[in-house]
């Protein structure tokens, strides 16, 4: 990944930590950024080396330097939006009976 790409990924990760606070989830972050576990470990290490992240009471937090970096890059207005709200809504009128076999869309039934 080139330097510009690294900076963008760093910025996205920092915005994630800003918005999630103590509720961060490495699996979620790895999924959002499309990284392998090794790449995520390297990214987190890099953010600590640059003092963008810090530990407070054994939990990771965005540091003042990290927040300043987000402001400098004009990314403060960006935020992480979870689909969690949309996923937790169940529309009873659209629900199928539990006795009906559910076949996912584009499921190939050929054996």
Which residues lie closer than 8 Å to 65 by C-beta, 6 or more apart? 50, 51, 52
2 pLDDT band, cuts 50/70/90, is very low
pLDDT the model gives residue 74? 72
Which position has the higher pLDDT, 101 or 22? 22
Q: Using CA atoms, how far apart are residues 43 and 49, in angstroms rounded to an integer?
A: 10
Query: What is the Cα–Cα distance from 70 to 77, expressed in whole angstroms?
Result: 9
Q: How far is Cα 45 from Cα 5, in angstroms, rounded to an integer?
A: 17
Contact assessment for residue 26 and residue 18, using Cβ atoms and an 8 Å cutoff: no
pLDDT of residue 47: 96
CB 62 within 8 Å of CB 52: yes
Summarize pLDDT for 62-83 with one digit per residue, the tens.
999 999 998 887 755 544 454 4
Structure-block tokens of residue 51: 């003092």
Side-chain half-sphere exposure of 85, counting CA atoms within 13 A: 3
Mean pLDDT, the chain, rounded, equals 77
């Amino acid at each position: 990944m080139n330097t510009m790409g690294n900076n963008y990924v760093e910025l996205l990760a920092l915005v994630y930590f800003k918005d999630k606070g103590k509720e961060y989830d490495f699996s979620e972050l790895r999924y959002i950024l499309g990284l392998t576990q090794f790449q995520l470990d390297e990214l987190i290490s890099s953010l600590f080396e640059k003092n963008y992240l810090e530990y407070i009471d054994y939990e990771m937090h965005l540091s003042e330097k990290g927040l300043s970096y987000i402001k400098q890059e004009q990314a403060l207005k960006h935020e992480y939006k979870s689909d969690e709200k949309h996923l937790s809504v169940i529309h009873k009128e659209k629900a199928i009976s539990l006795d009906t076999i559910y076949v996912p869309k584009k499921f190939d039934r050929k054996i």
